[in-house]
Amino acid sequence: MTDPFDSTDAVRSGSPLRHLQTVAFDAPFKMRLGGELPGVVCGYETYGALNTDASNAVLVCHAISGDSHVARHDAEDDLGWWDALVGPGKAIDTDTHFVICANVLGGCRGSTGPGSIDPKTGGPYGPSFPDVTVEDMVDVQAMLLDHLGVTKLAAVIGGSLGGHQAMAWATRYPQRVGACCALATSTRLTSQALAFDVVARNAIQSDPDFHAGQYYDKPTRPDTGLAIARMLGHITYLSSQGMSDRFDIDRNSPRQIDTDFEAKFSVGSYLAHQGQRFVGRFDANSYVTLSMAMDLFDMGQTHEQRVEAFAPATCEWLVVSFSSDWLFLPSQSREVVAALTARDQAVTYTELRTGSGHDGFLIESDVDRFGALVRAAIGPAEAGPPGDVEDEPLSLIDGRIVALIQPGESVLDLGCGDGRLLSALRDRGAGRLCGVEVKERAIVATAQRGLPVLDYDLNKGLPEFSNDSFDVVVLSATLQAIGRIDVLFDEMLRVGRRCVVSFANFAYRDLRQMYAEHGRSPKAQGEYSYDWYDTPNRRFPSIADVEDLLTAKGATIHRGIYLDTQAGKVIAEDDDPNLNADTAVLVISRVG
């Protein structure tokens, strides 16, 4: 049967896994919630070759309906579910890295699950299969790595349930993980996502063909319930706008498919098709088991609990969320980032602006955008100079800022742009470095330099960061675009033991004159080069304004460097910098 929807499907249909390998572990396997299996089989596929010092291994973890076939092994092979990311020359480069993807414990595509034979009874486990947790899945994968001779992973990566596994890896086996890439995931499901899972399981378990999970010897399986569960899942993987874009045009013209389900609307025929196709490749008991594992996954409800949960981790992190993902919210990814940041761990985070919904981590056009971040996070197979961005000379102002920071000091750069300043600081032997930026291209550029960078709106303050967590917080040429700079100053003074602020002076002689003599909104080079009605700026302070505000806050101004950048000279403190300097660089702190 030809597939009327395949062109736009995120996840391919299940085919025989011709490259599946299996390894059997015969020792009893103790599970986290008290169950025990007499032994486990792990089904997996590998791509590329392990290098001599076994330092180039990347473990890919799949989502609830995925399997080990992450990518094609050759041109004739079936499509994989993450071909966009994994393959020769791709972000996860199988020419240079050894990629492993294992079917999860509890699954039905090669690893031990409810449909496997229980040696004690000689029949399938069915409902007697013990409760599986994400941690159990990870423990089996650890056994697989031992079997493959991989002591330490260059990186572990996954989206959704795969992201849960990646985070469990980083905290459960911290010594074995170099980098953790957690996409479209969270420390625990929202109540809404949990509720959808409950309804899906109810649909399966109330199907009369379910027989309390013992249906393997019956002529029929709970296909109806499983198909309904899958339909529901599909809705939650797409964004509302994405569904509209796809199904609004021909709403009343369903595809002609053979189905017992309703197929009155185009979206209905799509769901029926997806549901029916799924039952051909998935086992209902596995679906119940794996969705329950997701629901039970819990790395904390509160910030404090999450900080505690991430305590063991020592790796570098990449966290990616998708703006239209309503199943795993971007705010949940930010919670992960906040917990890691509170632990002083190096994190890069971005929220990809996309209409793809939760499926964003699978969709090629989105993968093409975050792929560079994955590549940067995994790093080269052989150690070498970090990043591939050429260093360019610093601006006069940035040069001044660098000179104010001592080697070894940790620095948070707010509005870090392409990371040039941070890179210069690293060259001088800085301590821990972190950038904050909102522009996608700048985030990628910073990450490609091998520097951690967070996609975060400074208008929301700095809730991700603990008190005194950096030696220096820098805010360079960004102040004028912040709505509540007074609030951000408070936050900077809280987070940094010292802050360096550079900004353009709106009372600079030339600007003042435009107002005073011509009665018109001033324009100048740099931050104030925009027309008054079309500028990203919203605050227009003078040096005196900013210094007044800081003084009113009780902050100490340790040093002021005043520059006339156009003339290329320093303005002395007694030479009226508020009139003669176009730029100020202030060093401040909360206490004297």
**Contacting positions for a copy of itself (CB under 8 A):** 190-192, 194-196, 198-199, 201-203, 205-206, 208, 224, 228, 231-232, 235, 238, 240, 243-244, 246-248, 251, 260-262, 264-265, 267-268, 271-272, 295, 301, 326, 329, 484-486, 506-507, 512, 515-516, 518-521, 531-534, 538-545, 548-549, 578-579
CA distances from 292 to 133, 299, 561 (A): 8, 15, 59
CB 100 within 8 A of CB 143: no
CB 589 within 8 A of CB 555: yes
Alpha-carbon distance 268 to 147, whole Å? 46
Token digits for 133?
A: 């947790």
Nearer to a copy of itself, 208 or 399 (CB): 208
Alpha-carbon distance 111 to 525, whole Å? 63
CB 421 within 8 A of CB 394: yes
Smallest gap from Cβ 97 to a copy of itself, in A, equals: 37
Nearer to a copy of itself, 8 or 175 (CB): 8
Task: Tell the residue number behind the tokens 């001599």, with chain if given.
Answer: 52
Smallest gap from Cβ 47 to a copy of itself, in A, equals: 36
Smallest gap from Cβ 541 to a copy of itself, in A, equals: 5
CB 102 within 8 A of CB 277: no
Nearest partner of 181 among 366, 327, 294, 349, judged by Cα: 349
CB 172 within 8 A of CB 165: no
Nearer to a copy of itself, 155 or 309 (CB): 309
CA 436-489-343 angle, to 5 degrees, is: 50
Smallest gap from Cβ 500 to a copy of itself, in A, equals: 19
Alpha-carbon distance 531 to 186, whole Å? 43
Smallest gap from Cβ 290 to a copy of itself, in A, equals: 15
* Burial class (CB within 10 angstroms; exposed 0-12, middle 13-18, buried 19+) of 398: buried
Smallest gap from Cβ 44 to a copy of itself, in A, equals: 31
Smallest gap from Cβ 194 to a copy of itself, in A, equals: 6
Assign residue 160 a region (left: φ > 0; alpha: ψ between -120 and 50; beta: otherwise). Answer: left
Alpha-carbon distance 572 to 569, whole Å? 10
DSSP state of 67: -
Buried b (16+ CB within 10 A) or exposed e, 14-36: beebebbeebebeeebebeeeee
Smallest gap from Cβ 592 to a copy of itself, in A, equals: 23
Nearer to a copy of itself, 143 or 235 (CB): 235
CA distances from 381 to 95, 97, 272, 315 (A): 10, 6, 44, 16
Buried b (16+ CB within 10 A) or exposed e, 48-78: bebeeebbbbbbbbbbbbbbbbbbbbeeeeb
DSSP state of 177: B
Nearer to a copy of itself, 271 or 337 (CB): 271
Nearer to a copy of itself, 394 or 549 (CB): 549
Nearer to a copy of itself, 391 or 486 (CB): 486
The SS3 call for residue 158 is strand
Smallest gap from Cβ 538 to a copy of itself, in A, equals: 4
Token digits for 407?
A: 């080697």
What residues act catalytically?
Answer: 160, 325, 358
